[in-house]
Amino acid sequence: METWELMPRRGIRGGGVELLIGMSRAAARDALAGTMAGPESHFPNEDDFTSEQTGTLVRLRYEGDTLDDIEFLDGDLRFNGIALHRGARWPTVKEQLAAQGFTFQGASHLADGHECTSLGVNIATHEEVGGDGDGIEWVILSAEIAD
């Protein structure tokens, strides 16, 4: 299983790949070429990349040609050893991040979830987006979530 690491307000990295907010669409596609299947695009401003081997699903959203949002939708994502996805539950994630000085507010950039400006992320549970339970539905790193 491949582990991805959250780099606050910057991007994610894993398996020798770095995806950084502000990089070009071509650079993001090049970075993932040969490591994940895709891009599959359902909307003109989005690319989905998957890895059947690791169970990872990442959606990249662009403003023009610039990477604006990194949506981590499935897989193993961590920050300072804290599991943020795959099997993680919101109460535990919130408590562990609070112990490191990170606080969350209700979503302002996105309609659902909780946002932490110092990390630049929105985290939503399954229940918050119409499903069941307090498991993590997504972790979205966004250029729009700022101090």
Cβ(6)–Cβ(78) under 8 Å? yes
| Measured CA distances, 66 to 69, 100, 109, 138 (Å) | 9, 31, 18, 21
What is the model's pLDDT at position 36?
94
User: For 118-146, how does the pLDDT look when each residue is reduced to its tens digit (9 = 90+)?
Assistant: 999 999 999 999 999 999 999 999 999 97
User: For 66-102, how does the pLDDT look when each residue is reduced to its tens digit (9 = 90+)?
Assistant: 999 999 999 999 999 999 999 999 999 999 999 999 9
Q: Measure the CA–CA gap between 15 and 3, rounded to whole angstroms.
A: 8
- pTM of the model as a whole: 0.94
Confidence band of 2 (pLDDT split at 50, 70, 90): confident
Six token digits for residue 103: 């606080």
Average pLDDT for residues 44-53, to the nearest whole number? 95
